[in-house]
Amino acid sequence: MAEDHDIVGPVDGRVVPRYAGLSTFARLPRIEDVTRADVAVLGVPFDSSVSYRPGARFGPAHIRQSSRLLRPYNPALDIAPFEGQQVADVGDVACNPFSIAEAIGQIQSAATPLLETGARLLTLGGDHTIALPLLRAVHARHGAVAVLHFDAHLDTWDTYFGEPYTHGTPFRRASEEGLIDRSHSMHIGIRGPLYDRVDLADTAELGFQTLHCTEIEELGVAGVVARMRARLGSAPVYVSIDIDVLDPAHAPATGTPEAGGMTSRELLGVVRGLAGLHVVSADIVEVSPAYDHAEITGIAAAHVAYELLSVMAPPVKEDTNGNRH
């Protein structure tokens, strides 16, 4: 972690208007403008593996645009996520839109050197296929990780149209490859129709405990957080958030919407519940801006990203005089 005086934060919205300046996430510095990054915000504009609505290739730019109103202090967690860690926007991966296999390799090749510097990744997708190469890169750095997966869908199916690499298959491939910790991984927010009841048995065998969206209303945010923390334990955690975990009322701009999802408030509250755990990297995927209205989905995704950065931030310390550092 850097010393505070070394850290470059976001552009001050009281000095430069929100609608002006760099189009980086939260108007943070570009990687070219700092000496290093503790957390690298990486865009992956790839959506060639979707099964229904396309358009998530435009997600990274949309989330960045929707993040312009973020501010440097998070009162919900009493932390300033840009003060104790250097967060920088490293731009986008140039993915081949005509070859899924080549794009997967390009994403892994882009993520690996960033992780090798000791940085953590906050990746903006893109469709959910990108989680597989990101997990391959994370595994090379951290070994098998607990995957905390927020989604309406299991994404542990085997193939679509005979293709093993799609946005509905990344966590089956990751489990088969030994990338995930099968004792501590978890789905949250699963809902809607499935292909068969065996889908749930398959996902459990692959190492995922499932907390269905119907349970969230009964448990409340505090109950979900307790269940989540019990499952994750002290394992290193990779968080993967498909924005369709939110109800379409809160996130209409996504590729495969399902009714009956989480509210924005619930999702933000559960993500805050990760504070103090060892989150090694994260992604937010499946924002398809062509279906957005008044940036509803982009704003939700940007705030989820902000909470992820907040739980990655080092804890605030107080000296004997009560001064916070």
User: Does 5 carry a binding-site annotation?
Assistant: no
Asked whether 188 and 221 are in contact (CB, 8 A), the reply is no
Counted residue by residue, the chain has a size of: 325
Residue that the structure tokens 């060892």 belong to: 278
Q: Which two tokens stand for residue 51?
A: 């099964």
Distance CA 182, CA 321 (A): 45
For residue 313, the SS3 value is: coil
Q: Is 153 annotated as a binding residue?
A: yes
Nearest Cα neighbor of 192 from 148, 239, 244 is 244
| Burial class of residue 265 in the structure, from the number of CB atoms within 10 Å of its CB (0-12 exposed, 13-18 middle, 19+ buried) | exposed
Annotated binding residue at 142?
Answer: no
On whether 242 is known to bind a ligand per the annotation, the reply is: yes
Tell me how crowded residue 78 is: count the other CB atoms within 10 A of its CB.
Answer: 11
Per-residue tokens: 101: 């296999």
Answer whether 279's CB lies under 8 Å from 312's CB. yes
Bridge partners of residue 89, in order along the sequence: 30, 41
Place of tokens 């609505």: 53
* Total Cβ atoms within 10 A of residue 71: 14
| Gap between the Cα atoms of 174 and 32, Å rounded | 32
Buried-state track 8-21, b at ≥16 Cβ within 10 A, e below 16: bbbbebeeeeeeee
Residue 231 corresponds to which tokens in the numbers above?
A: 């499952």
Residues placed in the known binding site for Mn(2+): 128, 151, 153, 155, 242, 244
Residues placed in the known binding site: 128, 151, 153, 155, 242, 244
